[in-house]
Structure 1
Amino acid sequence: MAHIDLGVDETEFPGVRGLMKYRPVTGKPMMELAETLLRGPLSLPTADRELIAAYVSGRNECTYCCSAHSAFAAALLDEGMTVVDQVRADVDTAQVGAKLRALLHIAGAVQRSGREVTSELVEAARTEGATDEEIHDTVLIAAAFCMVNRYVDGLGTFAPSDPKFYDEAAQRITSVGYRNMA
């Protein structure tokens, strides 16, 4: 049970979904941000953006966000959950491209502290073909997920333990997006 009464059945609206229902005035712009960052017209593939969200959420130990975005990324990747699990276990040995690996290193630095994003990490990403826009978007996705992870966990929201819940959510998100999530 969440630390505050969200006024919803948390098993029906777990994690951030219950928080969006509780405070639509803040929930609506947060969903718009998620839609823009994870599905909007950015140069990084949607699957890569979801993988960055899953990776950061896993490093932050946010069960709900990590499980959700891992399922969302897996639904979009040809390799499915195999590559998601590889990235979460060890970015350096995961079967991802060099550019994505470099961007994941940047995301990991953001997760620790924005100040840990060094010019060396940025240059390594550029060397692998990342554009300034992709570096920007990676930093913003990682920073946004640090905020959302702390929001979800700071209010003690419910996180389903059944992977089937997240797989069903992935089908919904990949077909209709985040705007209608709550």
Structure 2
Amino acid sequence: MAHIDLGLDERAHPGIVGPMRYRPETARPLNELAETLLRAPHPTLTPGERELIAAYVSGLNECRFCCASHSATAAAQLPAGMGLVDQVRADPETAAITGKLRALLRIAAAVQRSGRDVTAELVDGARRAGATDLEIHDTVLIAAAFCMFNRYVDGLGTLAPDDPAGYEISARRIVRHGYRPA
């Protein structure tokens, strides 16, 4: 049960969905931010890769709802599916991903610990692996935003269902329609 009365059935509105329904005026800009970061046209990072960064950071933050949700959404958009998501979450250093994505995930992990943990060496390593300044910028912003989203969900003590089927259904909806409310 959430720490506050959200005025709804949490089983029908788990995780971030409940707080967003509780405060639609704050949900609007948060959904726009997620839409822009994860789904807007990007010259090089696919929506699946951006969702993977969100899932990875959410896993590092131990946010069960966001990790499961964004893992399912990444898997729905990556050719290697959930197998790759699981590899990255377990150990990005040995996962079957590009060196550039691995370097971006190192930056994301640094942001998760503290923005000041993003060092010139990490940025230079990402550049050597082929990352552009736009990719580095967007990785930092995705990681920072998901630290906020994770704390929003967990700070209110919202429900994180155990059944992966619900996350897969939500992922299909997000892939089709995005993060903007219907």
Residue type of the partner of 2:108?
A
Aligned to 1:21: 21
Shift of 1:151: 0.6
What are the residue-to-residue correspondences of 1:70-109 with 2, within 5 Å? 70-109=71-110
Q: After superposition, give the CA deviation of every residue in 1:50-94 in whole Å (9 maximum; x if it has no partner).
A: 000000000000000000000000000111111100001001000
- Superposition misfits of 4+ residues, deviation over 4 angstroms: none
Equivalent-residue separation in structure 2 for 1:70 and 1:2 (angstroms):
23
Runs of 5+ unmatched residues, structure 2: none
Q: How many residues align?
A: 181
Shift of 1:42: 2.2
What are the residue-to-residue correspondences of 1:31-50 with 2, within 5 Å? 31-43=31-43, 44-50=45-51
Runs of 5+ unmatched residues, structure 1: none
Shift of 1:6: 0.5
Residue type of the partner of 2:2?
A
Q: After superposition, give the CA deviation of every residue in 1:6-46 in whole Å (9 maximum; x if it has no partner).
A: 01111111111111100011111000000000001223111
Aligned to 2:152: 151
Aligned to 1:172: 173
Q: Say whether residues 1:113 and 2:114 are aligned partners.
A: yes
Q: Percent identity over the alignment? A: 67
Q: After superposition, give the CA deviation of every residue in 1:142-166 in whole Å (9 maximum; x if it has no partner).
A: 0000001001000000111100000
Aligned to 2:55: 54
Equivalent-residue separation in structure 1 for 2:92 and 2:64 (angstroms):
19
TM-score w.r.t. structure 1 length? 0.98
Equivalent-residue separation in structure 2 for 1:65 and 1:78 (angstroms):
21
Q: CA RMSD in A?
A: 0.8
Which stretch of structure 1 is more off in the superposition, 39-48 or 14-23? 39-48
TM-score w.r.t. structure 2 length? 0.98
Aligned to 2:134: 133
Equivalent-residue separation in structure 2 for 1:58 and 1:31 (angstroms):
20
